[in-house]
Each structure stands twice: as structure tokens, then as C-alpha cells.
Structure 1
Amino acid sequence: MMRHYLALSAIVVLSCCFNALGQAGSDEASVRETVNHYLHGLKFNDVESLKKAFHPDAKLIFVKRDGQLGTLSQEQWYKGFASSAGQEEKGDLQIASVDITGGAASVKVVEVYDKTKYTDYLSLLKFDGRWQIVNKIYVVERR
């Protein structure tokens, strides 16, 4: 009787662990899918791909050349893509790291171009069943 109880307990514990691992893997795949929309939008100047990745109220925050804090709304940022829509940018864009806790995620993205390197830190939240970027902070390094 005791062996059956222990075996049943082990099965319950293992199934909970595998379920949690499966959910974590599913969340990571979904986070990466969202960030890949973002990367595609950057690479091809595609505002529609960017809109798939970002929540409409998301902000972009950065330090301006004069050392002051700068912010952009999505609409302000999208206007910068209008003149080069559909054109492919020459550069290497990669997801450097993904960290997920529950319904929150942080993703580091590195974009290397001829004369600049951008490092983005994206904050994502899961709501209404999907992951969206709600905040982006970034730095630019001249090369």
C-alpha cells in the first residue's frame, strides 16, 4: 500500500513539473515570436510587424546626445520608418537573452550595423493571452 502511495505521489509531482516546464517553454516560444516581429520590423522597416510586437501605449526611453532623458510614443517612432518602408537594413539583429517570470518577461536584443550598435532591453507582459512589448529602453554605441 505504501509503495502505491509513493508511486502515485511521484507521478503527481512529476506531472506538475513537466506541466510547468511545458508552459515555460511555450511562453518562451511566444515571447521569442513577439520579439521576432519586432526584429523583422526593424530589419525591413515594416511598421505593421512592429505593431504586432508592441502594445499601443508602449514607450521607448533613451538618453539623448545631450545627456537628457528622451521618450518616444509608438506613433512618433513609426513616423521614422515611413521614408524607408520595405527597405532591408544591413545589419545583424539577435536576441541575446530571454528571462521570464510568470506573465512578465525581459529580453535583451543586440543590433549591429556598420556604424552603430544598439542594445535594446524590452519589457513584455502577457495579457489577453498574448505577449506584447510594453517598454523599450536602449543605448546606441557609435562604432
Structure 2
Amino acid sequence: MKTILLIALLSCQWWGSKAQNKNKMESLKANTAAISEILETRYFKGIYEGDIALLSTVYHPGTLLFGDVKGQPYAKNLEQYLDGVKNRQSPKASGKPFKGEIQDIRVVNSIAVAEVKVTMYDFVYQEFLSFHQIDGKWLLVNKMIADIADHAVIER
């Protein structure tokens, strides 16, 4: 009798852990898909069209942006960045090639990092975008960029 109860208990725990793992995997896939959707339909599109209203929906108001552009330090707050986007000719209006591509998305609980490459004007930006899920919405909270147009990228 004890053996039967022990087997039943272990079976329930095994099935329960399988269900938890399945739920975690489904949640991970859903979160990765949500971030991918944000990048494709709002981030890349907003940059390409110079649409600051659309871009504003992607960012947390306190977002900071850092990196280097043509070897020069780059540091802006969100307001400065959006003002720059607003006052430049958009890649769409310039007629020059534009490409945004997602290279990787890593999600851990309510945080995530997306690695993307954006080619526009004479720049090729390697970007690391930090996201945080706040009130059920994924928001970009930090942006790191490096212009790699004239440099080889070190692969992992």
C-alpha cells in the first residue's frame, strides 16, 4: 500500500513538473514572439518612416541610449533621441536602403535582450536592446548601439 501511494505521489509530481515546464516554454515563446512583433511592426517601421509617435510606443519614458557612431561617443535620453529622429530625413524619404533584422532575443522572466542590426544611410548599427515587461507590456528600457560599417564584428 505504501509503495502504491509513493508511486502515485511521484507520478503526480512528475506530471506536474512536465506541465510547469510546458507552461514556461509556452510563456517564453509567447514573450519572444511579442518582442519580435514590437521590433518588426513598431521599432523598425518607426525608424524607417521617422514616425516618433509609433517609436514612442516602444520605449519606456526613462530610456537611455549609449554607444558609438563613426567612432564618436553617443549618449542621449529618449527625448533627445526622438527629437533627432523627428528632425532628420527619414530613411524612407531618403530613398536609401534600409534593413532591420533581428539576430537574437533572450527572455528571462520579465526582462529580455534583443540583438538587432539596422542598416540605414551610411551606417550599420549593431544594437543591444534591453526590454522590461511592465504592467503586461514589453517596453524598451535601454539601447546600446555601435556603428560597425567600417569594422569587423567579433562573433561568439
Q: Deviations over 1:60-105 (max 9, x none)?
A: 11235564x4311212111222243694562121011111111111
Confirm or deny: 8 A CA contact 2:104 2:115 kept in the other structure: yes
Q: Partner residue of 1:14?
A: 18
Q: Partner residue of 2:44?
A: 39
What root-mean-square deviation, in Å, do the aligned CA atoms of Structure 1 and Structure 2 show?
Answer: 2.3
Q: Partner residue of 2:98?
A: 91
CA distance in 1 between counterparts of 2:113 and 2:10 reads: 39
CA distance in 1 between counterparts of 2:27 and 2:69 reads: 39
Residue of 75, 78, 84 corresponding to 2:79: 75
CA distance in 2 between counterparts of 1:121 and 1:15 reads: 33
CA distance in 2 between counterparts of 1:62 and 1:7 reads: 52
CA distance in 2 between counterparts of 1:97 and 1:53 reads: 18
Q: CA distance change for structure 1 residues 136 and 14 in 2, over 3 Å: closer, same or farther?
A: same
Residue of 50, 54, 63 corresponding to 2:68: 63
Confirm or deny: 8 A CA contact 1:46 1:86 kept in the other structure: no
Larger radius of gyration: 2
Q: Partner residue of 1:126?
A: 133
Amino acid of the residue matched to residue 39 of structure 1?
A: F
Corresponding position: 1:110 with 2:117: yes
CA distance in 2 between counterparts of 1:20 and 1:66 reads: 41
Unaligned 5+ segments in structure 1 are: none
Q: Shift of residue 35 of structure 1?
A: 2.3
Amino acid of the residue matched to residue 130 of structure 2?
A: S
Confirm or deny: 8 A CA contact 1:34 1:52 kept in the other structure: no
Q: CA distance change for structure 1 residues 114 and 76 in 2, over 3 Å: closer, same or farther?
A: closer
Confirm or deny: 8 A CA contact 2:91 2:97 kept in the other structure: no
What is the aligned length?
Answer: 142
CA distance in 2 between counterparts of 1:42 and 1:5 reads: 55
Corresponding position: 1:52 with 2:57: yes
SS at match of 1:57: strand
Q: Shift of residue 6 of structure 1?
A: 4.0
